C-alpha cells in the first residue's frame, strides 16, 4: 500500500476561537501534520486575525509543528518574536518584502524553515534567484485575508511551473497550497505536484473534522509514484 507523502496543515483561522483549546486538541488527535497559523495585520491584507500571544497559547498545547503564514507588512520586524512564539516554519509574502534574500537568511539563522507565499497575481518566475534559499513556497489559491473563499484554478498551472523551475536548483522544495482546498481538489493538487495542503474551512467546517483530515491525508495522487 503506498504511503501518502503529502502533509495536511489545518488552518486555525477557521477554528472556533471561543473553544480554541478543544480545536487544538482535535488537530493533535487527528492525522494532520502541522498547525497552519495565519497572522494578519489589517494592512497587508484587509483583515486582522490574531497575534503572537494567541500563537503562543496554541504552541503551548500543540503537539505538531507550527507553520506560520505572516500576512503582514515588513515581516522582518517580527521574525524573532515568531520564532520565540513557537514557529517551526515562517512564511513571508513576496509582496511584503523589500530584501527577500536577507529575510530568508534571517529566518534560517533563527533555526526555522524559510517559506515565501505568492499572491495569485504573482508569477513563480520571480522566485528564480532565491529558490536555493527556500524550504517552502506557499502558492495562495485565494486572495489572502479570509478563509472560506473560492479556489482559483490557475493554481494548478503555477504548481507545475514552480516544480519545473525548482527541479534542478531545489528538488526538495515543499510546495504548499493555501486557500479553498478540500476533497474536491486535493487529488488534482497532488497530481500537479503539491506537497502540503492547507485546509481551514474544509476541516473546521466539517461535521467531523477528524474524518475531514483523514480524508485529505489519504487522498491518493492519481500519478503512481515512480
Ligand X SMILES: O=C(CO)[C@H](O)[C@H](O)COP(=O)(O)O
Question: Which residues are annotated as part of the binding site?
Answer: 11, 36, 38, 69, 145-148, 178-180, 200-201
Rank residues 43 and 132 by Cβ distance to ligand X and give the closer one: 43
Which one from 33, 67, 135, 178 is the annotated catalytic residue?
178
Please tell me whether residue 83 binds Co ion under the rule CB under 5 A: no
Kind and range of the H or E element at 91?
Answer: strand 87-93
Of 31-39, 100-108, 146-154, 187-195, which part binds Co ion (CB under 5 A)?
31-39
Count, residues near ligand X per rule CB under 6 A = 23
Region 52-91 residues binding ligand X, contact defined as CB under 6 A:
69, 71
Rounded distance, CA 185 to CA 193, Å?
Answer: 13
For residue 168, which phi and psi values (nearest 5 degrees)?
A: -90, -35
Please tell me whether residue 69 binds Co ion under the rule CB under 5 A: yes
Q: In the beta sheet, which residues pair with residue 114? A: 90
Q: Is residue 26 within 8 Å of residue 216, measured between CB atoms? A: no
Residue 178 annotated to the active site: yes
Q: Is residue 213 within 8 Å of residue 203, measured between CB atoms? A: yes
Rank residues 6 and 69 by Cβ distance to Co ion and give the closer one: 69
Rounded distance, CA 99 to CA 51, Å?
Answer: 24
Please tell me whether residue 67 binds Co ion under the rule CB under 5 A: no
Residue 38 annotated to the active site: yes
Of 193, 93, 110, nearest in space to 145 by CA: 93
Rank residues 10 and 86 by Cβ distance to ligand X and give the closer one: 10
Residue 215: name its binding partner from Co ion, ligand X, none (Cβ under 5 to 8 Å by kind).
Answer: none
Contact with ligand X (CB under 6 A) among 97, 106, 142, 192: 142
For residue 87, how many C-alpha atoms fall within 13 Å in the half-sphere facing its CB?
29
Cell numbers 486575525 correspond to: 49
* 36, 49, 96 from 76: Cα distances, Å: 20, 19, 10
Which one from 38, 41, 135, 195 is the annotated catalytic residue?
38
Of 57-65, 167-175, 187-195, 196-204, which part binds ligand X (CB under 6 A)?
196-204
Contact with ligand X (CB under 6 A) among 32, 181, 197, 213: 181
Q: How far is the CB of 222 from Co ion (least distance, A)?
A: 26
Handedness of CA 221, 35, 111, 106 (dihedral sign): positive
Would you state the cell numbers that stand for residue 128, as one nine-digit string? 528564480
By CB under 6 A, name the binding residues for ligand X.
11, 13-14, 36, 38, 69, 71, 142, 144-149, 178-181, 198-202
- Which residue numbers are catalytic? 38, 178
Amino acid at each position: 500500500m503506498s504511503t501518502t507523502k503529502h502533509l495536511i496543515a489545518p488552518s486555525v483561522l477557521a477554528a472556533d476561537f471561543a473553544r480554541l483549546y478543544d480545536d487544538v486538541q482535535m488537530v493533535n488527535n487527528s492525522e494532520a501534520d502541522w498547525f497552519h497559523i495565519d497572522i494578519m495585520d489589517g494592512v497587508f491584507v484587509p483583515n486582522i486575525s490574531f497575534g503572537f500571544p494567541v500563537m503562543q497559547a496554541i504552541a503551548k498545547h500543540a503537539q505538531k509543528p507550527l507553520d506560520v503564514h505572516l500576512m503582514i507588512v515588513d515581516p522582518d520586524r517580527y521574525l524573532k518574536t515568531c520564532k520565540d512564539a513557537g514557529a517551526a516554519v515562517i512564511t513571508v509574502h513576496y509582496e511584503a518584502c523589500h530584501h527577500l534574500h536577507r529575510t530568508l537568511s534571517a529566518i534560517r539563522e533563527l533555526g526555522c524553515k524559510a517559506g515565501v507565499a505568492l499572491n495569485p497575481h504573482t508569477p513563480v518566475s520571480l522566485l528564480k534567484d532565491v529558490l536555493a534559499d527556500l524550504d517552502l513556497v506557499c502558492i495562495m489559491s485565494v486572495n489572502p485575508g479570509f478563509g472560506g473563499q473560492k479556489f482559483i484554478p490557475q493554481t494548478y498551472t503555477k504548481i507545475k511551473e514552480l516544480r519545473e523551475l525548482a527541479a534542478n536548483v531545489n528538488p526538495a522544495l515543499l510546495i504548499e497550497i493555501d486557500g479553498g482546498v478540500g476533497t474536491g481538489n486535493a487529488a488534482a493538487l497532488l497530481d500537479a505536484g503539491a506537497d502540503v495542503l492547507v485546509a481551514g474551512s474544509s476541516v473546521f467546517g466539517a461535521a467531523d473534522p477528524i474524518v475531514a483530515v483523514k480524508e485529505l491525508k489519504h487522498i491518493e495522487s492519481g500519478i503512481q509514484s515512480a
